Structure 1
Amino acid sequence: MALVYPVLADAPEPDEDAEPDFAELAADLSDNWLVEIAVSEDGDDACFGPLTARAAWDLAVELDDRQPDWTIAVVPLHAAGTADELVELFEE
């Protein structure tokens, strides 16, 4: 599986069957999300969105189920703040 998605550094390890907390992702990072797909090393890639956190996650999981060799990333479309503020979000 090459599914990449953000998590908070200090978040406890979720249970194996736990659903992601989409409200927390939206509140902490962005209301709008993108699904980025890298199909090959030749630059064949695409980006889909904006989507809600839940819609982006669902699309990424479905794509990963069908094409496990692709690298699929779920990323925030916009995160307000300066570069220092964004770095601080991930270092806390």
Structure 2
Amino acid sequence: MALIYPVLADTEEPDDESPPDFAELAADLSDQWLVEVAVGEEGDDACFGPVAARMAWDLAVEIDDKRPDWTVSVVPLYMAEPADRIIELFEED
């Protein structure tokens, strides 16, 4: 699976066999999200959004299910936080 999405540092690692779960998405990072799709090494990339977190998640999972060899990323579009706070969200103590 090539679905990439942010999770908080203190979130438990999901099992390798478990399907992606929306609850793992750090939805509090942004109200607007982008879905980035990388098809291959030749620059066939696209970006879709801005959309709400749930819509971005659903789109990314559906694309990943249908084209597991593509890389699909769900990324926050805007974060009203200083860099230090953003880093804290992802670093483990």
Q: Which interval holds the TM-score relative to the shorter structure?
A: 0.7 to 0.9
| Partner secondary structure for residue 65 of structure 1 | helix
Question: What is the letter of the counterpart of residue 26 of structure 2?
Answer: L
Judging changes above 3 Å, is the alpha-carbon distance between structure 1 residues 59 and 12 closer, same or farther for their aligned structure 2 residues?
same
Q: What is the rounded CA distance, in whole Å, between the counterparts of 1:54 and 1:33 in structure 2? A: 9
Q: 4+ residue stretches of structure 1 with deviation over 6 A?
A: none
Q: TM-score, normalised by structure 2?
A: 0.81
Give the corresponding residue for 1:20: 22
Q: TM-score, normalised by structure 1?
A: 0.82
Give the corresponding residue for 1:63: 63
Q: What is the rounded CA distance, in whole Å, between the counterparts of 2:69 and 2:57 in structure 1? A: 17
Equivalent residue pairs, number: 90
Contact 1:32/1:50 (<8 A) preserved = yes
Q: What is the rounded CA distance, in whole Å, between the counterparts of 1:60 and 1:70 in structure 2? A: 11
Give the corresponding residue for 1:87: 87
Deviation at 1:12, TM superposition (A): 3.4
Question: What is the letter of the counterpart of residue 26 of structure 1?
Answer: A
